[in-house]
Amino acid sequence: MKFLGWLDWAWGKLLWALMAFAALYIGFIMVAIIYQTVFRTAGWDYSPLGFVLIEYGFVYALFLGSPWLIRQRGHIYIEILTAMLSPRARTVLSRLIAFACAITCFIWVWYSWQLLVEQYDDPMAYDELRAQFDIRSWLGTVAFPFGFALMGLEFVRFMFTHETMHQGVAGVASERAELEETRARLAGQD
Amino acid sequence: MEWYWLLLALLGSILILMFAGIPVGIAFLMVCTFTAYHLYGRWDGVDENLTAAVFQLTDNAFSNMANFAIVPIPMFLLMGELFFHTGLAQRMFNAIEKLLGRLPARLSYVTVGGGTALATLSGSSMGATALLGTLMVPEMTKRGYKKSMSIGPILGTGGLAMLIPPSALAVLLGTIAEIDIGKLLIAGIIPGLILALFYAVLIFVRATLDPDAAPAYEVEDVSLGARAVLFLTDIAPMISVIVMVITLIMVGVATPSEAAAYGCVGVILLAFAYLLVTPLVRFLFAGRDAQSRDDAAIALKRFVPFFAAAFWRSLWGAARVTVVALLILLGSSLFSNVLAASGASVALIEWVTSFDVSAYAMLVMMLCILLLLGMFMDQLAMMLLTVPIFFPVIAGLDFGMELPVVQIWFGVIMLLAMEVSFTTPPFGLLLFVMQGVAPPGTRFGEICMAALPFMGCAMVLIALIIFFPDLAVWLPFLID
């Protein structure tokens, strides 16, 4: 049990680090846009690769940040039914929901992995929208199986942890989490 | 299967899954996967058609998300977070409070004025409501304000964040509906300001009819010169950032993405100016007394760690909402694809336009659906569910306007309807936020009652925009 606890802690830190990459990416977008517009306006040479990195970055940011948000109950889900149930029934339903979510994620892991392999094996599979950069298609698809796998694992975790995904408080989960953060921040300012 | 059964099954199963408590993005993913199986697969095994369909869905999802048009979402969010975390938003709010002087229901006006500015700067209804609730409600309670005059204005102005630019929700709506994001952002300005004016008139009428609801009290007198200085130092620079962003978009010098990035840089420069440059300049040029020397030393010592922490918190906050929005976009892109592939969306449009019902009756029906959904659902989920259906239907109806104009007009109406739903019982988000920050003993019913007149103002504005579309579409199409 002690090992599992340590593993869970380390896993949580890893997901936090992935989310931190997503946060840094937001800063990168700002810098990249300013760099490109300033250079373009001044008539200097600049690399248009920044646009591609920004666009691909959205897909990576989604799959890097989502697992941590699932862990923090940061995605949007509505607690109406779960708030009306008894704690025991809520626990059962919450674990069933986590199971269904995990299955959905793993179905997507399966299909997107197949697509990834197919694109990797096909030397002619290039990103046609950004043809001037010679980007292999699998570079965009690779985020899908890995991201869905991490998300699926987080849902699996909720099937077994003491604290369930649903807390039985009516409302929207992500917004409650954000509200708690805002209140903590305001308390900190006081 | 007939298209209407399929559409009913799609929408019904999404609603059931969401009410069961499944994350919204995942609920859409589930339904889309199941529909792909139904449309292309065999239940006794995986066949090539199904695999090809899911490959296509993945490819479409990638194309829709790897999209430069959604850059304003994280940039506007970052801009708002920076305003909050660097303390600039609160600075402006304090200045507005000092400027208003002695008035009946003074604090309610402060809430509307400051709240509108705060919501505009931050773009976050949640943050603005939480901050206003924490700052203003205890003070108003102490001054004898009734709940309707203290809580109501906060709930009303909190929702303005999604209407007045920079609004991340408007950008998301524009992205999902595939309409001009810049025009949609600009279109929110006049309705947003009218709504703020409605709130001020409402407060005036109530304070006149029932002076005890918001008793007047003595405040420190601030001279006209001091007020002018306060405006120039603590309000004008903040507003100038927003004006810069809007102007850049309006005159077409920059895209919404570029304007949003420049907005972020503007806020960072303002933070430098207020937190570091001002104390140093004061020390160097306005007198080298002990106090200004201490201030300059503290600013030098604290600026870097403070700004670094504020910047990191801002990046984190913006990333958090962006990732949630991206999962929603993923679900939305798949849902639109499945709807199109099943033929349900085309059949629905043909069916709707075949009726001999006026376009306005259809519009009112859609509004009712939005308001009904808003009672139970989050705004993003509502958008995801309704935009892929409503916008094509709206495009097929005749309102006597060109299609791009109709789309922007309907976009503003939709944003307003979502704003109303933000405060609609029993699950209006801002009601819960307010309950979280209101003084102990405030009942949920009191919060709902306080919100009602302000919801009424928004409904009146929706009616005005329906009858006078120019209120929303004149400004964005002015430059054209």
Cβ of B201: how many Cβ atoms within 10 Å?
11
User: What distance in Å separates the CA atoms of residue B28 and residue B19, rounded to the nearest whole number?
Assistant: 13
Q: Tell me the pairing of strands A78-79 and A171-172.
A: antiparallel
Does residue A63 surpass a pLDDT of 90?
A: yes
B20:A81 CB<8 A? yes
Give residue A176's pLDDT. Answer: 60
Window 116-155 of A, Cβ < 8 Å to B? 118, 129, 140-141, 144
Phi, psi of A136 (to 5 degrees): -70, 140
Tokens of A7: 């593993």
Range with lowest mean pLDDT among B374-383, B449-458, B471-480: B374-383
Distance from CA of A157 to the nearest CA of B (A): 15
Query: What length is written for chain B?
Result: 480
User: To probe the interface with A, which of B16, B47, B65 has the most A CB atoms within 10 Å?
Assistant: B65
pLDDT over 90 percentage in chain B: 12
A70:B23 CB<8 A? yes
* Interface ipTM: 0.89
| Contact (Cβ atoms closer than 8 angstroms) between residue A46 and residue A75 | no
Max Cα distance, chain B (Å): 85
A93:B130 CB<8 A? no
pLDDT confidence bin for B46, thresholds 50/70/90? low
Distance from CA of A24 to the nearest CA of B (A): 7
Nearest to B196, CA basis, from B109, B112, B119: B112
Half-sphere exposure of B344 toward its Cβ, with a 13 Å CA cutoff? 22
pLDDT confidence bin for A190, thresholds 50/70/90? very low
User: What distance in Å separates the CA atoms of residue B36 and residue B407, rounded to the nearest whole number?
Assistant: 30
Collapse the DSSP code of B45 into the 3-class scheme (helix H, G, I; strand E, B; otherwise coil) and give the result: strand
The 10 Å CB-count burial string (b at 16+, else e) for B103-137 is: bbbbbbbbbbbbbbbbbbbbbbbbbbbbbbbbbbb
Give residue B368's pLDDT. Answer: 86
User: What distance in Å separates the CA atoms of residue B138 and residue A136, rounded to the nearest whole number?
Assistant: 59
User: What distance in Å separates the CA atoms of residue A91 and residue A160, rounded to the nearest whole number?
Assistant: 10
User: What distance in Å separates the CA atoms of residue B213 and residue B130, rounded to the nearest whole number?
Assistant: 23
Distance from CA of B325 to the nearest CA of A (A): 9
Chain B partners within 8 Å of A20 (Cβ): 316
Of B70, B258, B433, the CB nearest to A58: B70
Give residue B411's pLDDT. Answer: 94
A183:B130 CB<8 A? yes
Identity of the highest mean pLDDT range in A24-38, B1-15, B165-179, B298-312: A24-38
B33:A179 CB<8 A? no
B323 touches chain A (CB under 8 A): yes
Does residue A99 surpass a pLDDT of 50?
A: yes
| pLDDT tens column, A149-166 | 999 999 999 999 888 888
Distance from CA of A137 to the nearest CA of B (A): 10
A94:B29 CB<8 A? no
Nearest to A116, CA basis, from A149, A73, A79: A149
| pLDDT tens column, B394-446 | 888 888 888 899 999 999 999 988 888 778 776 676 776 677 667 777 787 88
| pLDDT tens column, B248-297 | 887 878 888 888 899 999 999 999 998 888 888 877 776 667 777 777 77
Of A55, A76, A93, the CB nearest to B380: A76
Q: What is the pTM of this model?
A: 0.82
The mean per-residue pLDDT over the stretch B47-54 comes to 71
Decide which of B118 and B467 is more confident. B467
User: What distance in Å separates the CA atoms of residue B282 and residue B277, rounded to the nearest whole number?
Assistant: 8
Give residue A150's pLDDT. Answer: 96
Q: What is the dihedral of CA A112, A115, A119, A121, to 10 degrees?
A: 110
Range with lowest mean pLDDT among B116-125, B129-138, B248-257, B335-344: B116-125
pLDDT confidence bin for B311, thresholds 50/70/90? very high
Convert B236-250 into a string of H (helix), E (strand) and C (coil).
HHHHHHHHHHHHHHH
Chain A partners within 8 Å of B262 (Cβ): 34, 37
User: What distance in Å separates the CA atoms of residue A99 and residue A104, rounded to the nearest whole number?
Assistant: 9
Window 36-95 of A, Cβ < 8 Å to B? 37, 51, 54-56, 58-59, 61-62, 65-66, 69-70, 74-82, 93-94
Cβ of B273: how many Cβ atoms within 10 Å?
13
Kindly calculate the radius of gyration of chain B based on its CA atoms and give it in whole angstroms: 24
